[in-house]
Amino acid sequence: MTIEIAIILTPFIMAALIPLFYRRLQRSFIGWVVLVVPVSLFLILTTYIPHIANGKTVSHTFEWIPSFNINFTTYIDGLSLIFSLLITGVGSLVILYSNFYLSMKESLHHFYCYLLLFMGAMLGVVFSDNLMVLYAFWELTSVSSFLLIAFWHHRKASRAGARKSMTITVSGGVAMLVGFLMLYTMSGTFSIREIIADVNQISEHALFIPALVLILLGAFTKSAQFPFHIWLPDAMEAPTPVSAYLHSATMVKAGIYLVARFTPVFGGEMVWFWAVTGVGLMTLFWGSFNAVRQYDLKAILAFSTVSQLGLIMSLLGLGSAAVHLGYSTSSIIYTQATFAALFHLINHSTFKGALFMMVGIVDHEIGTRDIRRLGGLMSILPFTFTIALIGCFSMAGLPPFNGFLSKEMFFAAAVTITELDIFSIENIGIFIPIIAWVASILTFVYCVIIVSKTFFGKIKPDVAEKNPHEAPFGMLISPFVLIGLVITIFFFPNILGEYILRPAMASVYPTFPVAEMTPHIHAWHGFNIELYMTIGVIVLGLLLYRYMKYWIKIYRIFPQYWTLNAMYERIISSSENMSENMTKRYMNGNLMHYFIYIYISFVVIVAGTFLLLEAFTWNPSLDAPVENFELLLIFVMIFASFALLFAKSRITAVLLNGVLGYGIAFFFVIFRAPDLALTQLVVESVTTALYLLCFKYLAELKPEQSSKRVKVSNGLISILVGSTVTLIGLAVINYEKFESISTYFEDSYKLAGGKNIVNTILGDFRAFDTMLEVVVLFIAGLGVYTLIKLKAAKKGDADT
């Protein structure tokens, strides 16, 4: 096993071990044991930085299903290294924070198990070179995030938020899977590197654009892009450490990773440019616009996350223009949009992770996140106030914090892109910097709201009565590490640019010279349009906040009934009602109706298909002669069948049914199939014995009390089903349109080393089917055993 595969599997192994050892540890120690995993992985991954910074990559392949071209191939380059460092680094801080945040009364072993599952799945996503393996890990992130969001499952809102997030992200994942299969159809490989190398051969394929759209659907749903963003605010019902991890640094960045990874493949297309840029800008604006109207601190951060993800996505869209232009001195400037996206990706993880932890501290110590009930906490929570101030100033794009640097680069890219004369930018490109600027103003407004409404002003009476106090030191460590990075990156950004961002740029633009694509980051560029835009953001942002009571009424223009969230709820509700009504029509509890539906469907589909294909052909002259004893056995079975219809007692019905079963066994003997005959005899004997054992528990057999019309219709259906089965059996005897499959199995000795065809089919050709049948029997046995044990336990409790 290679180190890279071990990095992916370690969280899964630890998650599997937690249920085994957590009872042997004190509850307070579980988190500290789990903390060893992300810290160790982070330290191991840092050793890759010099190697990757020198332009090298690390790849290993473990053959999994080579016949289908599906192998577990790990690939570490600059892009995957950024995400893996965020996954393990922020994961370490989140687990450290959780040790102090979560109560000892919580189900801690479940929490850390789910968190490790998610961590391993995210590492699998960013390290996988094979599309199918990537998809498997992708959906595992949805499943594990569902478990984390619904961790407080006793809350209705937590369950609803988990269902919504899983519904939307899994739906997008299925669309992405179809896109991956289209890429395989075009390229003949599941390897992302091979697809990138072969992009010139597949770009003219008819499936290229459909694959592009479907893959973007997966990315947009996972990264909460408009209009799929509605799951993210509801997912805030999860514990704060989950929000700090999933919804600021990892899960929501998976879609960002996917877009960056596939930019070399689709970046040259106009559809990709406008879809990624347009959706990103719309998400940027809509997230910031809705964040201003929220009262819950976590809801404000949720919509701010949506907005910031839109900013990063739009930058990746702008940067994809360089792929279309190809390498040239003039096109290098547009790659800086992608550089800004990757830079802001890291910056956002630092300040947003710190802000989520800050909100968790406020909620933990004060007991509320409602800004209408908060205020004056600066003197009570001075360290928490420092975290909020630095984090919000960085998110607003103010110096001396890292958010200022990437926000300036965002403005520069938005202004520069208007100079292009491709993709019709000359017509509507002017809206790009305008939307970016307006959204940044709103971002500044909600950042001021977070700080001022929470920490300035007077303390509310109900809060003062609770004797609030600063968080314990352990809970402050993680957010202080993150805001320390916020400041450090501002003063030493080029260390990050040289060793982390430059290799990632080489992954997005594999044919471009890396040195020319990596700009030298400066905090001061003189008085240029980006600085004027930032000054405008501050001035107008302060004015809008000061006079908010006059314009906040604008939100009333948008009726609640027509919001995306309300529309989603109506769609889900109507779908559930329609499903319930449809189900009630056929699932009415009447067993006879179920048989009627099954038999009618069988006759219509099977008999209809045979009629349309003119497959009902029978030539009696080609059949073997029927002996007298065979005719006698047939008449006995026919007599038993008719007698069964008129049986007036259970014992008679059971015995007649046994006659039919044993008659079939005799036919197997006649046709020289002793193993089938033996199987049939055993099954029939066991079935008859079970009937007789349960005889006294069976209800008395009563004559059917049905109308003549029902009896006639039932008889007609029976005749049609019997006729269909009989005609099919006769038709396949001498069917000549296709070669019989039996000729393949006749060579069983050569193919599988077995002389008995039936045994070979069961044990070799149908090995998986037989194995699953055994598993079903095993599960049924476990169920019976459990029921017996529960009954015995209840009886024991009653006796005591």
SS3 string of 96-161? HHHHHHCCCCCCHHHHHHHHHHHHHHHHHHHHECEHHHHHHHHHHHHHHHHHHHCCCCCCHHHHHH
Evaluate the CA torsion angle 180, 181, 186, 191 in order and state its sign.
positive
pLDDT of residue 737: 67
Structure tokens at 244: 């700090």
Note every long-range contact of 191-197, with CB atoms under 8 Å and residues 24 or more positions apart, other chains counting. 191/73, 191/129, 191/130, 191/131, 192/75, 192/129, 192/130, 192/131, 192/134, 192/261, 192/262, 193/75, 193/129, 195/265, 196/264, 196/265, 196/510
Any domain includes 41: no
Cβ atoms of 312 and 280 within 8 Å: the answer is yes
pLDDT of residue 153: 87
Cβ atoms of 637 and 659 within 8 Å: the answer is yes
* Neighbouring-strand partners of residue 62: 72
Any domain includes 429: yes
Interatomic CA distance for residues 391 and 454, integer angstroms: 14
Cβ atoms of 350 and 486 within 8 Å: the answer is yes
Cβ atoms of 140 and 124 within 8 Å: the answer is yes
Q: What are the backbone angles phi and psi of residue 71, rounded to the nearest 5°?
A: -125, 150
Any domain includes 425: yes
| The model's pTM | 0.82
Those residues with Cβ within 8 angstroms of residue 103's Cβ, 6 or more apart along the chain or in another chain: none
pLDDT of residue 328: 80
Interatomic CA distance for residues 547 and 558, integer angstroms: 20
Any domain includes 307: yes
Number of H helices, E strands in the chain: 39, 2
Any domain includes 717: no
Structure tokens at 103: 């109560």
pLDDT of residue 216: 97
Identify which of 254, 222, 225, 316 has the alpha carbon closest to the alpha carbon of residue 123: 254
CA angle at 183 for the pair 3 and 193, rounded to the nearest 5°:
35
Any domain includes 625: no
Tokens 């570490």 belong to which residue? Answer: 76
How many domains does the chain contain in total?
Answer: 2
Task: Mark the ranges of the chain whose per-residue pLDDT is less than 70.
Answer: 1, 27, 464-466, 622, 696-706, 734-738, 792-800
Note every long-range contact of 509-516, with CB atoms under 8 Å and residues 24 or more positions apart, other chains counting. 509/264, 509/322, 509/323, 509/327, 509/335, 509/338, 510/196, 510/264, 511/327, 512/322, 512/327, 512/332, 512/335, 513/327, 514/55, 516/332
Structure tokens at 204: 């003219």
pLDDT of residue 69: 81
pLDDT of residue 436: 94
Any domain includes 344: yes
pLDDT of residue 420: 83
Interatomic CA distance for residues 518 and 111, integer angstroms: 40
pLDDT of residue 703: 61
Q: What are the backbone angles phi and psi of residue 335, rounded to the nearest 5°?
A: -70, -20
Interatomic CA distance for residues 579 and 317, integer angstroms: 40
Any domain includes 235: no
pLDDT of residue 349: 94
pLDDT of residue 792: 66
C-alpha distances (whole Å) from 118 to each of 80, 233, 591 are 16, 19, 44
Q: Identify the domain containing residue 777 by its residue range.
A: 741-800
Interatomic CA distance for residues 191 and 131, integer angstroms: 6
Interatomic CA distance for residues 487 and 480, integer angstroms: 11
Neighbours of 466 (CB within 10 A): 11
